[in-house]
Amino acid sequence: MKYFNLFSNILITKGARRILISDLQRNLSDLYTLELYDIIEELKNDSIEDILKNYDTESQQIIHEYIDLLLEKEYGFITNGDWDRNFPALSYEFQEVSEITNIFIEIDHISVLDKITASIDNLGVKHLVIYASKELSMNDYQDIDKKFKDSVLEGIEIYAPFHQAVDQSFFQILNETTSRIYSFIFYNCKEIPFKTKEIFGFSINFSHENIKISACGKVDLKYFNTNLSKILEAVKHNSCLHKKIGIDINGNIKNCPLMPESSGNIYQSTLEEALEIPGFKKYWNLTKDHIEVCKDCEFRYICTDCRAYTELTHTNNGLDTSKPLKCGYNPYTEKWEKWSKNPLKQKAIENYNLPELIKS
């Protein structure tokens, strides 16, 4: 008798109408039918021969094809006599040493970063995302990098308005004189200044839009990704808010700079103190499995949640458990739509007073 063994690093996420199979080793996710889900479940409980007995010839052929597919994709292997019970399940504990993994801060002057350098080292922060509301000169970028020159930070991403000094030599110099900045994003850029084949130690993006920090929270295919670390975090914790600190333009320390509740201010207290305030971490363990609509969505573990902008339809124990506002996917129809045009979201949109939507 033959038995099918699913590899422990294959994750199957069941959505309302289809399933997502994520290969946590090869960092790939693919969509399949609910039918395959049922077959995989049967294969967990019976031998292949016993399963085939229950189906007619035509269906048996389909099952063979599905098993072929599973083997071809290397989602599992076949043993004789019994399943191989020496393959334990993968532990889904998210083992992250850093107390805080990332900080998202909105600034209008770079000196404010001095307030958080010590905390960054204490908390083991790995990434810093800066949203600058004013233009940053070359010196500003270099100074930012310098502030963290011996720190534990592994990378800095900076959003800033585009200006005329931003050209090829601007980046050539920054490439030589900075070491932690891995991403430059310029908004309000009327015309992309240059195209280059030169390889820098960072990525550069230009956007025509005048992106405000409130533009955050988008749910889109381009932001979906599959890797073990991301998925482990998403399965047991909130995929955006877990181990994150946000600091708004006024220095208020929050879980996310776009959420209303604040736990102190960097001009009066430290990030460590803010973390101790009850309620700071209240969203950290709210997973997609407890969020409306998302809990039936096959993408829920490869997506990144947003609690700052939601449809404001459901709460549970004081937590907002509504679907993210800026998600246009409907798992019940498998269709993507433009979220901003959705009549059912208009009330919530008005509530947030989002400037980017005023023109439409």
- Residue 19 and residue 228: Cα distance in Å, rounded? 18
Residue numbers 57-86 binding another protein by CB under 8 A: 67-68, 71-72, 74, 77-80, 86
- Region 318-357 residues binding another protein, contact defined as CB under 8 A: none
Decide whether 222 or 317 has the Cβ nearer to another protein: 222
Among 12, 51, 52, 90, binds another protein (CB under 8 A): 90
- Cβ nearer to another protein, comparing 1 with 31: 1
- Cβ proximity to another protein: between 34 and 179 the closer is 179
Nearer to another protein, 17 or 143 (CB): 143
Question: How many Cβ atoms sit within 10 Å of the Cβ of residue 281?
Answer: 17
Does 150 interact with another protein (rule: CB under 8 A)? yes
Shortest distance (Å) from residue 270 CB to another protein: 17
- The least CB distance from residue 341 to another protein, in Å, is 19
Nearest to 11 by CA among 28, 27, 26, 23: 23
Site for another protein in 290-309 (CB under 8 A): 304, 306
**Helix H or strand E encompassing 58:** helix 57-72
Q: Among residues 172 and 315, whose Cβ is nearest to another protein? A: 172
Among 110, 126, 271, 294, binds another protein (CB under 8 A): 126
Q: Where are the alpha helices (DSSP H) in 269-316?
A: 271-276
- Residue 344, CA distances (Å) to 121, 273, 338 in order: 44, 40, 12
Residues of this chain, 173-232, that bind another protein according to CB under 8 A: 175, 179-180, 182, 185, 198-202, 205, 207, 211, 213, 215-220, 223, 225, 227-230, 232
By CB under 8 A, tell whether 12 contacts another protein.
Answer: no
d(CA 121, CA 10): 35
> Tokens 């969505």 identify what position?
297
Of the candidates 124, 121, 96, the residue with the CA atom closest to the CA atom of residue 284:
96
Which CB sits closer to another protein, 99 or 292?
Answer: 99
Please, what is the minimum distance in Å from the beta carbon of residue 43 to another protein? 13
Q: 22: Cβ–Cβ under 8 A, 6 or more apart, which residues?
A: 10, 11, 12, 13, 28, 29, 226, 231, 301, 302
Contact 178, 145 (CB under 8 A): yes
Q: What DSSP string describes 141-195?
A: HHHHHHHTTTSS--EEEEEEE--TT-SHHHHHHHHHH-SSEEEEEEES-SS----
Closest CB to another protein among 190 and 318?
190
Least separation in angstroms between residue 298's CB and another protein is 18
Question: Binder to another protein among 20, 21, 113, 127 (CB under 8 A)?
Answer: 127
Binding mask 20-39 for another protein (x = CB under 8 A): -----xx-------------
